[in-house]
Structure 1
Amino acid sequence: MTASLPLAARVDLRRQPIEEVLERVEQALHVRLNRHALIRKRRSLGAPTERGTWVRIERRGFERIGLQGWNGTEAAAVLQKIAMPEWYRGMAWREPGEPVMWRADELELIASPSVGTGARVVTDPGLPEAWWTELNASLDALAEQQTPRIATPDTVTITQELVTGTLGAVFPGVADTRIERWAPAHADLTWANVMGPKFSIVDWEDWGMAPRGLDAATLWGNALAVPELADRVHRERRADLESRDGKLMSLFFLSKIVGPHACAEDPLREPARKAAEHLVAELDARGGPGSSG
């Protein structure tokens, strides 16, 4: 199975030698990275610098880079009224002899840590009221922006065809999957990409136009193991999540948990299954596309 994947997908930066990459970035950006605080993920690296900034490094194969490029973090610097790190500078280069690009961005260092150590949370993080206020203000402001970019959740360009194919494979009972409203979205709004207790959204490399409710559905779905937290997300983003597009995006997220590759030990599986049944029934009861909220 692994051998059939593109080379870029087979490389895991948590296990690969990375010193040459770190040295290249330091020389190009004229910074010194704190190796002791380095965070290694499958396709990205991150570390604070000696001048109090943060550097994010990502490796991405050509097959995951669309026509718009992949300078999302830099492009997000123009967004207004959103709690997010300030972008300072960046660089990119091609891996010699391979269909792979590297990118490094230097950004403002956010004092608060990620709310979640991973995409999901399994305990209530106890977020203050100000956090929810900033979440709403930022997501509302984001939806009012304009961009030619198309969002790439999980590094895949989101299209009507993708939504229809995904939902049709997992929830064939949903007859009408047409998206009515598209708006700018972060496209990876997991608990690892929101900071707290002071609110901020990080990792903007995949932002762009997406179906309404994608971000709210992603945050809500990743909180399903903590019912009170999932309910709070739903209350705060009710307008998005109760719209027809929002329900479709909720199912789009849930398809990853209850679909053919579902994991029996996943703590989200059972609440996701129940939520999916409820959403499918609601969409079926509402009928055609003219009932968007």
Structure 2
Amino acid sequence: MDQQRMRRAFTQSARELGTTIAGPEVWGWHGRTLSSRVHHPDRGSCRLRLLSAPQDKAFGKIWEGNRQAAVLFDGRVRKPLLYDTTESVGDGCAYQAELHQYVAEPVCSSSPVLSDELDLPAQWWESLRADVESVSSTATDRVAARQEWVNRTVPSFLDMPGPRITDWATAHGDLHPANLTIRTPYVLDWEGFGMAPAGYDAAMLLAYSLYATGFADRVRDTFPVLETEPGRVAQIIVMTELLQSASRGDHPEFVPALHALAAEMRSA
């Protein structure tokens, strides 16, 4: 069983990093990751996250993302610090364990799709905007979106030509309510960061918030790039990505909202 395999690797990794498991299991997307609160003798409460991949695919953007993000962003933006990592192999799989700073505050939503309104203070939005701007101005050779994919995929899902990306910026790459904590906010899970259309993070947050109209309005107010042509391009690309993901079974419940937003983009 994959879960038993992951649990064995998690227990081994916790031991190698000198920690003891101190919290419940938290499974990630499609069981690809397993996390828990752990106790470290020097650092106290930490979060241990285990990533698994077939041994011949344990490389590339996702595998290296959190380590590279730590080099570029730890101490510069509000994200959990990465303390240590370890790698192992077994059962034909590779494992990477990451020991992170433990963040006690809850996330804004248990699901990426925000269904309930959140009344967050102005300071929360100012902090998020500052961090997104700091990320966008950071140089990287990692890529989160490609023009070739846009040309091929947008016509299939939105019945319109793929727009040309003219403005690029570094993006977190998965900015949604389940990756934002409700007080600070901390921005979580950096494995997918890289170059993307300018406004990509704002477009992603907006798309996942369409059913919470008040929150979506605050996203638009906080990120005026969404009202520009580059922002329109970013929204088209994000909607295509999410529609493609929904076609594979991920969050099909907000497909109607995505199509409604796409109609606005076509008429803009």
Q: Give yes or no for TM over 0.5.
A: yes
Give the Cα–Cα distance (whole angstroms) in 2 for the partners of residues 179 and 108 of structure 1. 36
Match of 1:21 in 2: 9
1:246 partnered with 2:234: no
Quick one: which amino acid aligns to residue 188 of structure 1? D
Match of 1:171 in 2: 158
SS in 2 for 1:37: coil
Quick one: which amino acid aligns to residue 209 of structure 1? M
Give the Cα–Cα distance (whole angstroms) in 1 for the partners of residues 248 and 60 of structure 2. 32
Give the Cα–Cα distance (whole angstroms) in 2 for the partners of residues 138 and 63 of structure 1. 35
1:162 partnered with 2:149: yes
Residues 26-54 of structure 1: per-residue CA shift (max 9 Å, x gap): 122111122x4221122111111122111
Residues 122-181 of structure 1: per-residue CA shift (max 9 Å, x gap): 001222221101100000010111112222xxxxxx21111221212122323x511112
How far off its partner does 1:242 sit? 2.3
CA 85–95 in structure 1, closer or farther in 2 if over 3 Å, else same: same
Which TM-score applies when normalising by structure 1? 0.80
Match of 1:74 in 2: 67
Match of 1:130 in 2: 123
Match of 1:287 in 2: none
How far off its partner does 1:62 sit? 6.3
CA 225–267 in structure 1, closer or farther in 2 if over 3 Å, else same: farther
SS in 1 for 2:139: coil
How far off its partner does 1:194 sit? 0.8
How far off its partner does 1:221 sit? 0.5
Residues 35-89 of structure 1: per-residue CA shift (max 9 Å, x gap): x422112211111112211111111346866655722111112334311111111
1:229 partnered with 2:222: no
Match of 2:82 in 1: 87
Question: Matched residue pairs, number?
Answer: 258
Match of 1:181 in 2: 167
1:47 partnered with 2:36: yes
Which TM-score applies when normalising by structure 2? 0.86
**Is the Cα contact below 8 Å between 1:256 and 1:262 reproduced in 2?**
no
Gaps of 5+ in 2: none
Gaps of 5+ in 1: 1-10, 152-157, 283-293
How far off its partner does 1:269 sit? 2.8
How far off its partner does 1:249 sit? 2.3
Give the Cα–Cα distance (whole angstroms) in 1 for the partners of residues 180 and 199 of structure 2. 17
Richer in helix (by share): 2
Identity value in percent: 23
Give the Cα–Cα distance (whole angstroms) in 2 for the partners of residues 92 and 124 of structure 1. 40
Aligned alpha-carbon RMSD (Å):
2.4
**Is the Cα contact below 8 Å between 2:198 and 2:230 reproduced in 1?**
yes
Match of 2:19 in 1: 31
CA 188–60 in structure 1, closer or farther in 2 if over 3 Å, else same: farther
1:116 partnered with 2:109: yes
CA 63–137 in structure 1, closer or farther in 2 if over 3 Å, else same: farther
After superposing the two structures, state which structure 1 stretch, 254-263 or 160-169, moved more: 254-263
How far off its partner does 1:258 sit? 5.0
How far off its partner does 1:270 sit? 2.7
How far off its partner does 1:18 sit? 3.0
Residues 225-264 of structure 1: per-residue CA shift (max 9 Å, x gap): 111111111111122x22323222212222355568288x
CA 94–245 in structure 1, closer or farther in 2 if over 3 Å, else same: farther
